[in-house]
Structure 1
């Protein structure tokens, strides 16, 4: 059986980077991202019984 699925995708992204070679420069990111996911597949029995 072939199937198609889709839906809302939500993820929390969090990152910190210290890029200062001579002194500290810290960049931070903390946000929630939204998107859309689509997929398809094929399924069947593992054996005949």
Structure 2
């Protein structure tokens, strides 16, 4: 996982929602989705 890209994504989410909590929630959901896709063999780590 590219940590720098993850930080940029979180900052973009924060800009969009205006809420740090929403940005963190979005980042968690993204992580869960990515894990599910990797587990299903549909994405690479």
TM over 0.5: no
Greater gyration radius: 1
Q: TM range, normalised to the smaller chain?
A: under 0.3
Does 1 or 2 have the higher relative contact order (CA < 8 Å, sep 6+)?
1
